[in-house]
Structure 1
Amino acid sequence: MRVTQSMLSNNMLRNLSSSYNKMGDLQNQLNTGKKITRPSQDPVVAIKGIGYRTDLNKVEQYQRNLGEVNNWLDSSDDALDHVGQALIRVQELVTDAANGSKTAEDRQKIQVEITQIRKQIQDLGNTKVGDKYLFTGTNTLSPLHDGTNFTATPGLNKDVKIEVYDGVEIKVNTNGIDLFRGIDEMIGKIETSLGDGSSETVISGYLTDINTQQNSVLEKRADIGARQNRVEMMENRLSSQEIIVSKQLSNNEDIDYEKVITEMITQESIHNAALSVGARIIQPSLVDFLR
């Protein structure tokens, strides 16, 4: 096949165009820090990047879910801590009322304070996170105590769970109807006994009931503490997963600057050499001589 001047010129121009494109791609990589800017440049890298970003989005969502879990558990524990303190005060008042030297007037004053503590504990049973009640099971939109009676709606002993990992859920609520109702009934009996002149023996007998309720509160708090420990482990797991996926995403998409700069310098040298050779290939035409 006869090689003409036109063929040499066209090949040279085509190679120069390809060289410009390569340098343009390398320049884009240096500007963006990414291996590709369009999926068509490398579909495999693009598909892997989508998968890694999906994993990162899931991790971020689970981290937000864990924040909500912590809100529930911390608020529940704080409420029960105040219930425990209230029971300690009831214990002190009952011990004082059981003293044989107390007059009817003294007992009335103790009864008034215990009544206020009872209302305070009822309010603690209605503790909320946002617009959701913590101690009413899945019936999160209704209070545990309406100011007169405890609610009897369904779902009070059902668990509220939040997903914190693929297929992993953590119970966030504390079933409180039995606990708060038991405490309320006990304090109601103490109020009655203080008002009807019951003996010191009857009143001191409530100390055992108070101790039982205190233990019940501690058991609930221990259960919350166990779940808080699990949440902490899940937070560590998600943090590790975030680091791993972020590293995989970086390895998949981010450039090695030293490598790209070296390729850029090499490509520039090749391009300059091509220009120099091309200047010799394209010979002056007759028109150039006539000028």
Structure 2
Amino acid sequence: MSFNQVNQNLTKNRSEMADLQNQAATQKRINKPSDDPLASARVLTARTEERGNTQFIKNINNARSFLEFSDQSLSELTEILVRAKELAVSQSNDASGNEESRMVTASEIEQIYNQSIQIGNRKLGERYIFGGQKTQNTPFNQTGEYFGNDSDMKIQTQKDSFVAMNLPGSKVFLGRGLGGDGIVRAQYETPTDVESLKDFQNQEIERQQINEEVDSNFLTTRGPASESGRQSRADRQDPVTGSVGVNLFSTLKNLEISLKTNDKSGVQEALDTLDQAISQVVLARSEVGSRIMAVNSTNDSLQKAVVDNKVTASQLEDADAFQVISDINKTDSTLKATLETSGKLIQPSLLDFLR
């Protein structure tokens, strides 16, 4: 009976010593779920949230790069449109312009047109930023024809929360999806969960099919002789939203033709359209800016959540080094005392050696 009791105490003390030595080596109070089941569950939850938030932060960094590059491109587009308007103003009357100066100015407008095409075909890495979801296809050809789509690229920034990381070129350069005030706006509410995202995607597919049908039935017309051969397009409203915007490429091309043909009235007409085009791009840029602010705010919240989760997990599972060392010394003293006491209680006899 005494031997069994002593053996049980020794086993218990040695097990406690092994656990404490393991804690000292790993600096962790919890090394397996059985050490503290409740705390282990909370640590697992904190780590799961931390990994999810870390991935959301990566998504946000990706979206922010896309949005900031879009903002930079829209800033350059605004500058060249302002320059185009300055040139149009200078050539809109006979006091500051004549046939020769208008021909020279037309060459600069042509360069501005080419620059706007280049901006529309900007790439970040291997993806075009103004192609909608068709990021591998060149959005615009040299005539300004659009080969992307009208859909935004959605990226998840939080649980059940998505944000658009781009503006399709059809909105910025062709004026599709714009209200009568020129403000770039989403056709529908931004999806907040997976189901609404699926509905949104289906609606966007239907919208794109309608737009493609309208494009296939669209005819380019030429104005009367009094318009000096300037190209004009029939006013078109978005078939879904009824919105109206300005085609930047047509605006610049019409201005170029008016200058080449010395059409003063055509140059004057281009001024109002250029104002609308500039407002369209500025408001598109403000939309991008608001998205950048939103993702930055979300990023700050996620960064704080990551730190909080790490602190929570650390408080639950990390071992107190001083406490562990103290417990090791205490357990070691107990183990030595148990061995010494057991040696006195169980005196070996000759029969013990003969067994």
Q: Same fold (TM over 0.5)?
A: yes
Matched-pair contact (CA < 8 Å) for 2:10–2:335 = yes
Is residue 120 from structure 1 mapped to residue 184 from structure 2 by the alignment?
no
Which is worse superposed, 28-37 or 115-124?
A: 28-37
Task: Give secondary structure in 2 for the equivalent of 1:261.
Answer: helix
Identify the match of residue 151 of structure 1 among 146, 155, 180: 146
Is residue 171 from structure 1 mapped to residue 164 from structure 2 by the alignment?
yes
Task: Give secondary structure in 1 for the equivalent of 2:173.
Answer: helix
Higher helix share: 1
TM-score (norm 2): 0.73
Provide, for residues 175-234 of structure 1, a one-character-per-residue CA deviation record: whole Å limited to 9, x for no partner: 3314313111000101111111212x4323322221211111111111111111111210
Is residue 140 from structure 1 mapped to residue 204 from structure 2 by the alignment?
no
Aligned to 2:229: none
Identify the match of residue 340 of structure 2 among 254, 257, 276: 276
Aligned to 2:316: 252
Task: Give secondary structure in 2 for the equivalent of 1:162.
Answer: strand
Which is worse superposed, 31-40 or 121-130?
A: 31-40
Q: CA deviation at 1:173?
A: 1.3
Which is worse superposed, 94-103 or 136-145?
A: 94-103
Provide, for residues 118-147 of structure 1, a one-character-per-residue CA deviation record: whole Å limited to 9, x for no partner: 011011111223322222322322222023
Provide, for residues 20-51 of structure 1, a one-character-per-residue CA deviation record: whole Å limited to 9, x for no partner: 11011111111111113233444444333332
Matched-pair contact (CA < 8 Å) for 1:144–1:177 = no
Provide, for residues 232-251 of structure 1, a one-character-per-residue CA deviation record: whole Å limited to 9, x for no partner: 21012111211221122112
1: distance between equivalents of 2:257 and 2:348? Answer: 119
The 5-angstrom pairing of residues 62-141 of structure 1 reads 62-100=56-94, 101-141=96-136
2: distance between equivalents of 1:230 and 1:128? Answer: 23
Q: Which amino acid aligns with 2:52?
A: K
Matched-pair contact (CA < 8 Å) for 1:62–1:164 = yes
Which is worse superposed, 271-280 or 215-224?
A: 271-280
Aligned to 1:3: none
Q: Which amino acid aligns with 2:345?
A: I
Aligned to 1:4: none
Which is worse superposed, 75-84 or 242-251?
A: 242-251
Aligned to 1:180: 173
2: distance between equivalents of 1:12 and 1:30? Answer: 27
Aligned to 2:296: 232
Provide, for residues 50-105 of structure 1, a one-character-per-residue CA deviation record: whole Å limited to 9, x for no partner: 32221111011000010111012101111100000111211222223235253433
Matched-pair contact (CA < 8 Å) for 1:12–1:278 = yes
**Computing the radius of gyration over CA atoms, which structure comes out larger, 1 or 2?**
1
The 5-angstrom pairing of residues 188-203 of structure 1 reads 188-199=253-264, 201-203=265-267
Aligned to 1:27: 21
2: distance between equivalents of 1:149 and 1:44? Answer: 63
Stretches of structure 2 lacking an aligned partner (at least 5 in a row): 175-246
Matched-pair contact (CA < 8 Å) for 1:122–1:180 = no
Matched-pair contact (CA < 8 Å) for 2:122–2:128 = yes
Which is worse superposed, 159-168 or 31-40?
A: 31-40
2: distance between equivalents of 1:283 and 1:161? Answer: 80
Aligned to 1:286: 350
Q: Structure 1's 255 and 178: CA in aligned 2 closer, same or farther, altered over 3 A?
A: closer
Aligned to 2:198: none
2: distance between equivalents of 1:285 and 1:17? Answer: 24
2: distance between equivalents of 1:178 and 1:118? Answer: 17
Which is worse superposed, 275-284 or 16-25?
A: 275-284
Matched-pair contact (CA < 8 Å) for 1:39–1:46 = yes
The 5-angstrom pairing of residues 199-214 of structure 1 reads 199=264, 201-214=265-278
The alignment yields a C-alpha RMSD, in angstroms, of 2.3
TM-score (norm 1): 0.88
Q: How many residues align?
A: 281
